[in-house]
Chain A
Amino acid sequence: MKHTLSVTVDNHPGVLARVATLFRRRGYNIESLSVGRTEEPSISRMTIVVDGDENILEQVTKQLHKLVEVCKIMDITSEESVDRELALFKVKADPQVRAEIMQIVDIFRAHIVDIGRRSLIIEATGDEGKINAIEDSLRAFGIMEMVRTGKVAMVRGPKG
């Protein structure tokens, strides 16, 4: 099962390497990882999606806790939370199919952010399921390039 961990860490150089090394060394699989600074500049937040059973998740959490620069770990999988991913798609778009693509973009409330002679770049945000759905819809036109940020998440309400 996939779990989403929200991890606050000291905003030091090398923290990402420590976390990544830990996952590699212990053989845990990172589904996605995104990191950025928070409202407190000395702290960064990592949103890590891990695939594994309860035992693996328990070990991941305990081992992460042992990293000196890890401050707090929350498993927000079962929490009421908002999660978002951002994706960019470069899609083949000859003039005759552009209208159709633009309709799909509208349906998913995505944006066209660049137009080339034969291609478009589409920006989409949403939860994982929505991004997967856009990807499926655009595949028929020919996806030339795709990049996804990985998930960022926040617990609803005052808790955090």
Chain B
Amino acid sequence: MKLKGTDIFIRCLKEEGVDVIFGYPGGQALPIYDALYLSDIRHVLVRHEQGAAHAADAYARVTGKVGVCLATSGPGATNLVTGIANAYMDSIPMVAFTGQVPVPMIGKDAFQEVDITGITLPITKHNYLVKDTQELARVIKEAFFIARTNRPGPVVVDLPKDVMTGEAEYSEDGVEMSLRGYRVLKSPNAGQVVLAAKAIEDAKRPLIYAGGGVISSDASAELRELAEKMQIPVTTTLMAMGCFPATSHLSLGMLGMHGTRYANYAVSECDLLIAIGARFDDRVTGNLASFAPDAQVVHIDVDAAEIGKNVGAHIPIVGDVKQVLSEIVHRVKARPERTEWHELIDRWKDDFPLSYEPFDDDVIMPQFVIEKIYDVSEGKAIITTEVGQHQMWTAQYYRFIQPRTFITSGGLGTMGFGLPAAVGAQIGCPERKVFNIAGDGSIQMNIQEMCTAVEQKLPIIICILNNQYLGMVRQWQQLFFEGRYSYTDIAIQPDFVRLAEAYGAVGLRVTKPSEVEPALRTALQETERPVMIDFRVAREANVFPMVPPGESLQNMLGGDK
């Protein structure tokens, strides 16, 4: 049957199981919006396109489905760019649709024309400019397929207005994809699995270094099975928090620049490092030359290009993390406990626990707020963050138990991610409690999404750890630039309580440690409105311990009592 492009668009989205889109309308997207008006797909109207991309990204992270965002041509499309780059760096499955000027006007510098496929070339897994209505159904199918398979990532589909208003033959039997050069990864090499299993059985001081790939391939159960069967301690990257319960005796928390001392010491002392769905980021490794000096490296990743990119692997295994782990688990024979290794780690844990000293009894320490959020939520909330000190404190002091509960911008480090992410997370998981832990700098970057949260009646709790500084930059200035606080003092700021109220949300201010928990409990009572809490915290608290940039993991500052 012959259908209009916009109708094909709606039908294809439904075939892909899309039930919510985050978007913002505009001229060239008018026909699409007209079709959405008549369809039963839920559209969440954000207040800036960047918010749409971050919300779709977070929606994907909490649900495991492909997130979808939509913007008009020109500035609408360019406003998505940060959000697309964010999803690319963190390997999040997302499809971003953009309006485009009609095909005959492309290349003529028409009003609100921008080359969005050109702009997003290096920050997408793939992208499309659809030039013929006849291609539409196939392109949408391919876009979702590419976004979610192998190493996930964002795909941009640019939709010229005349392609959407034109007609084409559409068959309900579906279309054939045409992806000659793209193959979904098959089983891992069996020989490599045997080698890895042998290495794991033989190691005296093994360590698992788990990355975001464990979460994206839903391999938490397999990871836990392997760690427990073989009694291997586990350290996780920022992206992997929650993939292994922080409450387990085998958990070492996060490694790297703001990781725990015991995790970093374990990396430095281990004789077998099992990297799973991780990419040896510079924030993880510190100085590469002295990273895991005694270790044989097993590197499991779905992306062959990650193997050997930063750190060479003795036993590389290319494959889906979940499948590889389950094959290894079945192959390894449980071995006697590695008592000496565990005793050494326990000693480090006793000697160098994460800790902070209150400056003064009347001052709220930011870490204390995180601990209280953990207490009142019993570790079961979905936590989104912005980027900076509060993000690192959250990773350190909130003990994540389940995968897909810590939603943070890891690779790109995008300030302004957390609030729209909380919107996307709450819409993806309406039954869960969602907190956005923010800094007073970051929260101002996408503050307009308060309006979206109010309109959608989302009871998200925004906890601003307000130190009136761009805290992480200030910390570096204090430590590495002789205390010259160049443009990091942001004491001139809005009254967040009145700002929240102006948006129709609830605003609370907390200035004393004793008020922290009561305020959080008050916030938890709200069921239909966002609550913004302005926690006035110690101004110059620092994130410790810390590996100074370029140093090796053994040389940490702070946190040694």
Contacts and interface: CB of A to CB of B under 8 A. Distances in A.
Given A59-B309, A65-B304, A14 B182 contact: no
Contacts of B146: 68
A72 B118 CA distance: 24
Contacts of A66: 125, 303, 305
Interface string A57-82: 01100110111111110000000000
Contacts of B180: 10, 71
A17 interface: yes
A3 interface: no
B126 A17 contact: no
A17 B120 CA distance: 12
A18 B182 contact: no
A17 B307 CA distance: 26
A21 interface: yes
Interface residues of A, number: 21
A69 B181 contact: yes
A68 B179 contact: yes
Interface residues of B, number: 18
Nearest to B155: A68
Contacts of B236: none
B479 interface: no
A14 B117 contact: yes
Contacts of A70: 181
Contacts of A62: 304-305, 307
Contact of A71 (B181, B307, B308, B309): B181
B122 A25 contact: yes
A9 interface: yes
A79 to B, nearest CB: 21
A88 to B, nearest CB: 30
Nearest to B121: A21
A9 B182 CA distance: 11
A15 to B, nearest CB: 10
Nearest to B182: A68
A55 interface: yes
Interface string B363-404: 000000000000000000000000000000000000000000
6 contacts: A10-B181, A21-B122, A59-B309, A63-B305, A66-B303, A71-B181
Q: Shortest 4 CB-CB distances between A and B: which pairs?
A: A62-B305, A71-B181, A68-B126, A25-B122
Interface of B: 117-118, 121-122, 125-126, 129, 146, 179-182, 303-305, 307-309
